[in-house]
Amino acid sequence: MSSIDKNCLPQYDGGTAYSGALVFFDPNTPTWTSGWRQSYGDLFPSLRFFVGDAFGLLFGLDSSDKVCIFCGETAEVEPLGIDERRFYGIISEDPDGTVHKSFFDEATHAIGTLKADQIFAFKVEMALGGKLAIDNLYITDRIEHMRALGKIACQIHRDPTGTSYEVSRAG
């Protein structure tokens, strides 16, 4: 298993890698989290977010500088116990299994290219029974999406894994 610097990731341009499937944040400047952290209330994790994928999954560093996954719709934090360089090595070994690179390419072709502040969001979130499918995606603002996920997380965070939800659509 390799460890690499983010500068070595394919199509790294200083702000993204993998043609935009991976988006970088400055973990020491939490300015962008100020737009959505209130939506999570006491569920907001004490992580320094440094990267996210094009589908809203976030990765942060804990107090020991180890990478954790933050699932926005549940506010679950999963410690990976690895450093940032090892994290990039894992992504480089399997970009489809980690950041869904092929699915990202398919979504870009079918729906459109993301702007720097956008993501592909799920119409029905995975935690609510949504599927990883092109027809379940739309393009939206990253911060607005995190606000919406915070509201969902506050409602379902303490529910047991496997709880079924009835999803109703407005309109």
Q: Is residue 38 part of a domain?
A: yes
The pLDDT, as a whole number, for residue 16 is: 94
Q: Is residue 167 part of a domain?
A: no
Token pair of 109 as six digits = 């072709």
pLDDT exceeds 90 at position 82: yes
The pLDDT, as a whole number, for residue 130 is: 86
Overall number of domains in the chain: 1
Q: Is residue 162 part of a domain?
A: no
Q: Which residues pair with 22 in a beta bridge?
A: 17, 53
Q: Is residue 67 part of a domain?
A: yes
Q: What is the pLDDT of residues 89-146, one digit of tens each?
A: 999 999 999 999 999 999 999 999 999 889 999 998 888 888 999 999 999 999 999 9
Range of the domain at 88: 6-156
Q: Is residue 49 part of a domain?
A: yes
The pLDDT, as a whole number, for residue 1 is: 55
Give 81 or 125, the one with higher predicted confidence.
Answer: 81
Q: What is the pLDDT of residues 21-71, one digit of tens each?
A: 999 988 777 677 888 889 999 999 999 999 999 999 999 999 999 999 999
The pLDDT, as a whole number, for residue 155 is: 87
**What are the C-alpha distances in Å from 70 to residues 75, 134, 153?**
6, 23, 11
Q: Is residue 171 part of a domain?
A: no
Q: Is residue 137 part of a domain?
A: yes
- Full 3-state SS string of the chain: CCCCCHHHCCCCCCCEEHHHCEEECCCCCHHHHHHCHHHHHHHCCCCEEEEEECCCCEEEECCCCCEEEEECCCCEEEECCCCHHHHHHHHHHCHHHHHCHHHHHHHHHHHCCCCCCEEEEECCCHHHCCCCCHHHEEEEEHHHHHHHHHHHHHHHCCCCCCCCCCCCCCC
Q: Is residue 166 part of a domain?
A: no
Averaged pLDDT, 1-12:
83
